[in-house]
């Protein structure tokens, strides 16, 4: 991506399905939240699949080096170090 000069949108992701429950558990783990997650079953489920189409970026030779779980954790760590409001 350092050399990409196109105008088209390119999805960057691991190319794997993730459920909202899996993403919530990853965030929970990253932030050290020990409580439970409550789901409001009266609301619509939303998009059934959470999967980015990474065909274009893979065609450019790019491959992910970070898992979704590790990416969430490192993003949270970055936020704590760099966001003024997180420094309290």
Q: Measured at the alpha carbon of residue 68, what is the angle toward residues 53 and 5, in degrees to the nearest 5? A: 50
Backbone dihedral region for residue 32 (phi beyond 0: left; psi -120 to 50: alpha; all else: beta): left
| pLDDT score of 1 | 61
Backbone dihedral region for residue 46 (phi beyond 0: left; psi -120 to 50: alpha; all else: beta): left
52-86: per-residue pLDDT in tens? 888 988 988 889 999 999 999 999 999 999 988 87
pTM: 0.75
Residue 5 — very low, low, confident or very high, per pLDDT cuts 50/70/90? confident
| pLDDT score of 79 | 94
- Is 55 among the domain residues? yes
* Gap between the Cα atoms of 88 and 83, Å rounded: 10
10-53: per-residue pLDDT in tens? 888 888 888 888 999 999 999 999 999 998 889 887 776 677 88
Domain count, the chain: 1
- Is 14 among the domain residues? no
């Amino acid at each position: 991506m350092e050399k990409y000069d196109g105008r088209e949108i390119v999805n960057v992701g691991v190319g794997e399905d993730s459920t909202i429950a899996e993403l919530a558990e990853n965030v929970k783990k990253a932030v050290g939240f020990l409580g439970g997650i409550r789901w409001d079953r009266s609301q619509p489920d939303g998009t059934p699949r959470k999967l980015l189409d990474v065909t274009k970026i893979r065609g450019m030779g790019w491959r992910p080096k970070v898992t979704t779980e590790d990416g969430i954790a490192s993003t949270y760590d970055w936020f704590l170090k760099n966001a003024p409001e997180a420094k309290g």
